[in-house]
Each structure stands twice: as C-alpha cells, then as structure tokens.
Amino acid sequence: MAESKKPTDDKDERTNDNKDKQTNDDDDNDNDESVFSKLQDLMNRFSGLMSSSTSDEPVEEPVLKSFDLKNAAEYMSKCSNIIVMAGAGISTSAGIPDFRSPGTGLYSQLSKYDLPSPEAIFHLEFFRNNPKPFFLLAKELYPQKFTPTPTHFFIRLLNEKNKLLRIFTQNIDSLERIAGIPSEKIVEAHGTFFTSHCLNCRKEYDLEFVKVLFIKYD
C-alpha cells in the first residue's frame, strides 16, 4: 500500500516545486516593477525640478563666450583686481626646468648629487648637514642667467594697466621681479632667490651675497 502511493507523492512534490518557482518568479517581477516604479518616480521628480528651476530662476550668462585669446582679452579688459596664480610652467620656456617632467624635470636631474631622495635637497635638516648639493643646484638655476618669458611680461602689463591685484607664485626664480612686477604685488609661496636669511640670526642677505656662496661651493 505504501509503495502504491509513492508516485502520487512525487507528483505532489513536483507540483509544490512548480508553485514555489512560480511564486518566486512573481516576487521577482513584483520587485522589478517596484524598482522600475521608483526609478520612474525619481526621474519625474528630477524632471520637474529641472523645469521649475529653469523657469523660475534666471539663467546666468557664461563668463567667456568662447575659450580663445580674443574673448579672454575682452573679458579681462572689463576686470580689475585680477589675481594670478603661477607655477613652474610659466618659466620652462625660459630654460628653467619644472619638477616632474620625465627626463627634463628637476627631479630627473638630481641623481648626480647622490641624494637619499630627490626631495631631500630641499629639506632643511639635509641642508644643515650637507649644503653643497643645494648650492650647486641653485647655481644652475641662478636667476640672472635667464630672461623672463612672455607670460611674465603679460603679468607686468596687467599691473601697468592697473588691473593686477596680486600674483601668487610657487617659483623661486625671481623672474617676476626681473620682469618689472612690483615686489609688493608678489607673494612668493616657496621663497625666492632675491633674498636669503641666516638660519640662526635671521639676518637678510641679497642676491649678490648668494653669488659668493656659489663660488665657495663650486
């Protein structure tokens, strides 16, 4: 008797499995529809937000009509209190290397100084123990060997037109000063060749004094 009921039991199990699968499929469909409904609702709300902002708020005119020299010059002609932020790139055409360009950058040329790391040449602790590499490098970068670039003279022109408020520069080459930009308009974030200070008494020394050190460590 028990054996005769087994096929029926197997059929019932298959029927239950099919029902479970159908239930899972229905759940998945419900989940998909729920996600789609939420996504559609979000898109509708975003669309309404965009339409209300464009209709209620004034549209700002772009600062520049196009990204070319003519439009940049026209815009700057209307400006005052211009702030310039400059880095190594404005001096590379003068022959002064930047820091990280492969092969030509400053860090690529420091292997001859046998440093623990390229950055060590600018670390105060390393300088106190061994100043020679720094002065040898400084001699190569000595400002009076270089001529300011068109960018430097453009910044001077901004000042002559009473438009320059300040130039913030990462460069130590002093080419801004050599180009004729007033020192009170220049912020030299990393220092400058133009002046030096004693590490102990903080006495200030000029560029000519640094030339003497170049000779000493030559």
Residues marked active site are found at 190
Nearest C-alpha neighbor of 158 from the set 135, 177, 181: 181
Collapsing DSSP states into helix, strand and coil, what is residue 111? Answer: helix
Contact 106, 98 (CB under 8 A): yes
Residues paired with residue 83 on neighbouring β-strands, in sequence order = 166
Burial class of 144 by CB neighbour count within 10 A (0 to 12, 13 to 18, 19+): exposed
Contact 104, 183 (CB under 8 A): no
Nearest C-alpha neighbor of 153 from the set 172, 176, 135: 176
